[in-house]
């Protein structure tokens, strides 16, 4: 048997040009399948990791998925804010343990700015109920003296090279355009007082300021743009009433999670304002049911790519049969049975598949390691360079199995060729 394998390997080496090409195509297909699976599971877990310990998210009435997307993932925008007295009413519900209001809508060089209270740093949790931690400095004070203080997510600080004490200006709206575009809050610069430790969640990309600061920078924006001749100096802003009248959403924690439906119903039936409360887990599952379709289509596509490469393997080995008639006939003449020829060809196909799949797996691993930092920076998604998951093993196994089955086809063909067929010289 091992002699046969050696013959197969040496014979394949003789025709290495085409076989290497086939191997590469199998490698590419395998890499595609494996990295797609990795991406799929990592996106899922990174989404699921983004919020923990928050029982309800309350916002203006939109769709549950949309509310979840903008309140947690900073994707899309709110259709409307919610009034502060509604927030207080929710907070006063006897089942509610804590509320953290958040205000979105401004940005700093493309990074979303989140106005919130100091409670955010103690209440908000991610992953397995891990609280936010400060890598440097402290949380913003939340007082008038510390009005223009900002706390950066790890990604913001790293990407823009900011340190404690850095002065930054916020932009109105979500564009990345600097001051020239006009939508700037340049008159009221902020000082960085803290940098959060990395979480692998959208928090990393966020600039955190107090709700009062959000009010202050919009004091002279009454008409949706800075009013000409009416600018309020930063220090004067402190004299105004900076209590927020409106926020974008509220994160709610309950004393007892069983009460979640009651509070949800209370919010939905709240008469003074149309509100919506979503359970983060339920909204996420809703999102998956939408994304799941696309996911499956992608996986099916890469499955097809794998099939095509295996088909090309069969085609190449089959085409090779013609040039190998002599070789096979000589083997038969020196005593090899048809079985041996079958094994020889199947082994060749299996060998090429195995090498291809291994190369592909290695390429997928290298790709994850190499693009990990870029993906993290660009999309805030943490790719894990971890051991293959069960699903990845399954895909790897499927490629190998399919390759071996496919190599039986040329093997069978050779098995049927008669000895005389190869020995008869053709003119």
Partner 1 sequence: MRTLACALTVLCLAGPSSAQPRDGVPAMKPPLAATPASAAARAGEARTITWEALVPADWDPFKDFKGLDFQLLDDGDPRANAMLKKMRKAWDDAPVNPALVGQLVRIPGFVVPLEDGKEGLREFLLVPYFGACIHSPPPPANQIIHVLPRTPAKGLRSMDTVWISGVLATGRSDTYMGASSYRIEATQVTPYKEPAR
Q: Would you tell me which residues interact with partner 1 (CB under 8 A)?
A: 45, 48-49, 52-53, 55, 94-95, 127-129, 255-262, 264-265, 279, 281-282, 284-286, 288-289
Residues 6+ apart with CB under 8 A from 390: none
Minimum CB distance to partner 1, residue 259 (Å) = 5
Minimum CB distance to partner 1, residue 75 (Å) = 19
- Closer CB to partner 1, residue 259 or residue 315? 259
- Closer CB to partner 1, residue 255 or residue 296? 255
Q: Which of 155, 229, 173, 174 is nearest to 381 (CA)?
A: 155
- Closer CB to partner 1, residue 243 or residue 269? 269
Taking the CA atoms of residue 292, residue 297, residue 300 and residue 304 in that order, the dihedral angle to the nearest 10 degrees is -160
- Closer CB to partner 1, residue 69 or residue 259? 259
Residues 6+ apart with CB under 8 A from 320: 15, 18, 410
- Closer CB to partner 1, residue 94 or residue 239? 94
Minimum CB distance to partner 1, residue 55 (Å) = 7
Residue bearing tokens 């990309």? 205
Q: Where are the beta strands (DSSP E) in 206-257?
A: 207-210, 246-247, 249-254
Helix (H, G, I), strand (E, B) or coil at 383: coil
Minimum CB distance to partner 1, residue 266 (Å) = 9
Minimum CB distance to partner 1, residue 52 (Å) = 6
Minimum CB distance to partner 1, residue 96 (Å) = 9
> How many angstroms separate the CA atoms of 171 and 148, rounded?
14
Q: Which of 301, 397, 389, 403 is nearest to 345 (CA)?
A: 403
- Closer CB to partner 1, residue 18 or residue 49? 49
HSE on the CB side for 416, CA within 13 Å?
6
Q: Quote the crossing angle between the two packed helices 390-416 and 338-379, to the nearest 10°.
A: 150
- Closer CB to partner 1, residue 128 or residue 145? 128
Minimum CB distance to partner 1, residue 253 (Å) = 12
Q: Are 35 and 306 in contact (CB under 8 A)?
A: no
- Closer CB to partner 1, residue 131 or residue 146? 131
Minimum CB distance to partner 1, residue 380 (Å) = 17
Q: In Å, what is the CA distance from 256 to each residue of 57, 200, 278, 332, 361? A: 16, 28, 16, 79, 46
């Amino acid at each position: 048997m091992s002699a046969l394998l050696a013959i197969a390997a040496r014979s394949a080496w003789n025709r290495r040009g085409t076989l290497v090409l086939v191997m590469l195509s199998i490698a590419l297909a395998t890499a595609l399948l494996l990295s797609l699976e990795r991406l799929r599971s990592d996106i899922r877990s990174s989404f699921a990791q983004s919020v923990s310990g928050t029982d309800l998210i309350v916002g203006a009435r939109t769709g549950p998925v949309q509310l979840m997307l903008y309140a947690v993932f900073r994707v899309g925008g709110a259709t409307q804010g919610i009034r502060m007295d509604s927030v207080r009413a929710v907070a006063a519900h006897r089942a509610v343990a804590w509320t953290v209001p958040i205000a979105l809508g401004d940005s700093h060089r493309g990074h979303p700015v989140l106005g919130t209270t100091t409670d955010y740093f103690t209440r908000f949790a991610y992953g397995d109920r891990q609280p936010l931690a400060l890598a440097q400095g402290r949380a913003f004070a939340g007082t008038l003296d510390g009005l223009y203080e900002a706390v950066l997510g790890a990604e913001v600080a790293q990407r823009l090279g900011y340190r404690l004490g850095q002065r930054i200006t916020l932009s109105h709206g979500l564009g990345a355009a600097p001051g020239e575009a006009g939508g700037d809050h340049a008159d009221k610069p902020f000082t960085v007082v803290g940098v959060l430790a990395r979480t692998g969640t959208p928090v990393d990309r966020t600039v955190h300021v107090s709700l009062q600061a959000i009010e202050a920078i919009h004091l002279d924006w009454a008409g949706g743009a800075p009013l000409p001749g009416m600018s309020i100096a930063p220090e004067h802003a402190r004299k105004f009433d900076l209590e927020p009248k409106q926020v974008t959403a509220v994160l709610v924690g309950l004393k007892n999670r069983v009460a979640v439906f009651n509070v949800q119903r209370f919010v939905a039936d709240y008469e003074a304002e149309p509100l919506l409360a979503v359970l983060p887990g339920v909204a996420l599952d809703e999102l998956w049911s939408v994304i799941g379709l696309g996911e499956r289509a992608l996986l099916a596509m890469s499955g097809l790519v794998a099939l095509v490469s295996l088909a090309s393997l069969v085609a190449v080995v089959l085409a090779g049969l013609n040039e190998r008639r002599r070789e096979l006939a000589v083997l038969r003449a020196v005593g090899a049975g048809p079985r041996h020829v079958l094994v020889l060809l199947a082994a060749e196909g299996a060998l090429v598949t195995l090498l291809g799949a291994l190369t592909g797996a290695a390429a997928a691993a290298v790709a994850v390691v190499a693009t990990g930092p870029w993906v993290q920076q660009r999309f805030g998604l943490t790719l894990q360079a971890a051991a293959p998951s069960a699903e990845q093993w399954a895909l790897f196994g499927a490629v190998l199995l399919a390759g071996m089955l496919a190599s039986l086809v040329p093997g069978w063909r050779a098995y049927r060729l008669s000895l005389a067929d190869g020995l008869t010289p053709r003119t």
